[in-house]
Homo-oligomer: A and B are copies of this chain.
Amino acid sequence: MLQRRLFRKLHPPVGARPGTLVVDSGSPAPRIRVTTYAEEGVEERDVLDPNQLRSVVASGAKTWIDVQGLGDEAVLRGISAAFGIHPLVIEDVVNVPQRPKAESYPEYQLFIVRMVEPLSDGAANVEQVSLLLGRTWVLTFEERPGLAFDPVRRRLHEGTGPMRRLGPDYLAYALLDSIVDAYYPLLQRLGDEIEELEDEVMGAAPPGTLERVVEIRKTLLQVRRAVWPLRDALAGVIKDGGPFLTEEVRVYLRDTYDHAAQAMDVTEAYREMVSGLFNTYLSVVSNRTNEIMRVLTVTASIFIPLTFMAGIYGMNFENMPELRVWWSYPALLALMLLVAGGLVLYFRRRGWIGAPRRRGRGQDRRAGP
């Protein structure tokens, strides 16, 4: 369901200088969207030369710089220089995926998170989003241009809520919150699919069921690897804060933490259910094999001895006096019936054929209180 490969990290050659950037050749060139806002209004424009960003920082106006695409090393280095970002930090931003984390630096607070980007065909994509919160600015890096931040951008333009009134820390919160919230629809879809698979596994188990179970297990593993460190990072930020987080916004972040924690809980519960699905599947298949074997055994055990008896009297020995006795044929038929009847009785007593086994007690209780 998720598109990213299992583990496909862009990493520089072993032993390369720290801060070496590995630009993914398939990644689009960065587009730099600068949004300056104040309580009175919002101004948005695209910047082409990263050096222009220096004036943005210097101006002291509340600004959101959204970099979409990581495909041009020179531009990324330019941005990094304009904001005075440590080479290791820009390496974390570019050499995706990093482990989600939050780190405090004297000049900014770094958040690295993974975002679920819904695709048009109902599937989803996991991408890294890096967010730096400075004194007056928020700097975000997305792997490719996407619509994920559009609702926040719209709220910023509309000016409802406290977003324009409060500082850039509130904007950072709003962005993080929208990233965490995006896990909910995915989890809901996974939950639906798990319930469906539970029915399938217990029922007809059409071909492909197992593949889907394995697929979901893998998706959950990825979600967990994205959400778990994110939750821990948020907890750390809420506790230690940073120079740029006001107390007011920290209350909001606590809410985001709650959402991440709940997403984590749900993911863990799903993982358990999926691992239970395997047990169920094995039990159901074993049970079904058992039933099949029962049919085979009953049929074979009844007819093989009878066939043998018929075979005896199909032999061509000259000296077989029974063949000439007039009642021997009906007597043999009767004997065969007897043998068959005895076997049927035996198998019925063992519960291998006939009426399905008693299901009394369990069913009765169910109806009861």
Contact = CB atoms under 8 A, between A and B. Distances in A.
B292 A7 contact: no
Q: Pick from A315, A323, A327 the residue with the most CB of B within 10 Å.
A: A315
Interface residues of A, number: 145
A196 B366 contact: yes
A225 B269 contact: yes
A282 interface: yes
A304 B251 CA distance: 76
Contact of A303 (B210, B308, B358): B308
A15 B151 contact: yes
B283 A281 contact: yes
Interface in A176-208: 177-178, 181-182, 184-185, 187-188, 191-200, 202-208
Contacts of A288: 290
A296 B295 contact: no
A15 to B, nearest CB: 3
Interface in A270-319: 270, 272-273, 275-276, 278-290, 292-297, 299-301, 303-308, 310-319
User: Can you tell how many copies of this chain the complex includes?
Assistant: 5
Contacts of A280: 210, 214, 278
A79 to B, nearest CB: 19
A328 B293 CA distance: 34
Contacts of A258: 92, 98-99, 101
Contact of A317 (B160, B188, B328): B328
A13 interface: yes
A286 B287 contact: no
Contacts of A322: 317
A354 to B, nearest CB: 13
A262 B97 CA distance: 10
A184 B286 CA distance: 35
Given A204-B361, A299-B304, 17 more contacts: A7-B188, A13-B151, A14-B182, A92-B258, A204-B358, A206-B356, A206-B357, A206-B358, A275-B276, A281-B283, A285-B286, A285-B290, A290-B292, A295-B301, A310-B314, A317-B322, A317-B329
Q: What are the 4 closest A-B residue pairs judged by CB atoms, nearest first?
A: A15-B151, A206-B359, A310-B311, A313-B315
